[in-house]
Amino acid sequence: MSITNKMLNKIDNDITSLKHSLHPESIDYWYKKIIDETIEIAPPWLADKINVKQDPILPLKFNIN
């Protein structure tokens, strides 16, 4: 099973168990979860270069460098 399939299965299980709508807290949770999982599966030489900053005024706005 490829990494993509594992990640999609994990996200599918999370969505099934968390059935929330588009509340800011839920969206924030998913942003953080996707960022964390992306860093986790990224190659070591790339993981430390992934930089995501959350906007302090607009909490659902992220800058990805």
Q: Write down the pLDDT at residue 30.
A: 82
Taking the whole predicted model, whether its pTM rises above 0.85 is answered as no
Distance from C-alpha of 11 to C-alpha of 24, rounded to nearest angstrom: 18
**Residue 25 confidence (pLDDT):** 77
Burial class (CB in 10 A: 0-12, 13-18, 19+), 38: middle
Ordered per-residue pLDDT tens for the chain, 65 residues? 577 888 888 888 877 777 656 677 777 888 888 888 888 898 989 888 888 877 777 776 777 76
Q: Could you tell me the residue range of the domain that residue 29 belongs to?
A: 3-64
How many domains are contained in the chain? 1
16 Cβ contact partners less than 8 Å away, ≥ 6 residues apart: none
Quote the strand ranges of the chain, DSSP E: 52-54, 62-64
pLDDT at residue 16 in the model: 75
